[in-house]
Amino acid sequence: MFSRSIGILFVSFLPAGALILPLSPAHTVNALVAGILAMVLAGLSMAYDRARIGTAIIGAWVALTAFIFPSTLMEEILTVSWGTLMLATMAGPLSASPQIFRTPAEQTASEPAAESHQVQIAA
């Protein structure tokens, strides 16, 4: 749950980077579409686990696009770092909701009450 919050903080960096940095047309379109879709899913990921997995899949896709499309060093750094951050924060070990596991305590058979053998003192 903690890493999901960190992922939500950084999810908007990809579409903003696509508008600010000089990227190729393929990377610009991919960053805008995947980034906006990831923002919507990351917002829903606090309530729905499927949205969390969808954001992680989008992060993996963005990380792989640097190796699929011809890209410059800046495009590779932007897409791979953002994609691995989204994959790690949305599907990593600290991204699952906290769960409470309750196991019933082992109950032993109650023994019959022993009679008290105290000496009664007459008053």
pLDDT tens sequence for the chain (123 residues): 778 888 888 898 989 999 999 999 999 999 999 999 999 999 898 888 889 899 999 999 999 999 999 999 999 999 999 999 999 988 877 766 667 777 777 766 666 555 566 666 665
Tell me if the pTM is above 0.85: no
Q: Write a three-state SS string for the chain.
A: CHHHHHHHHHCCHHHHHHHHCCCCHHHHHHHHHHHHHHHHHHHHCCCCHHHHHHHHHHHHHHHHHHHHCCCCHHHHHHHHHHHHHHHHHHHCCCCCCCCCCCCCCCCCCCCCCCCCCCCCCCC
Domain residue limits, the chain? 2-91
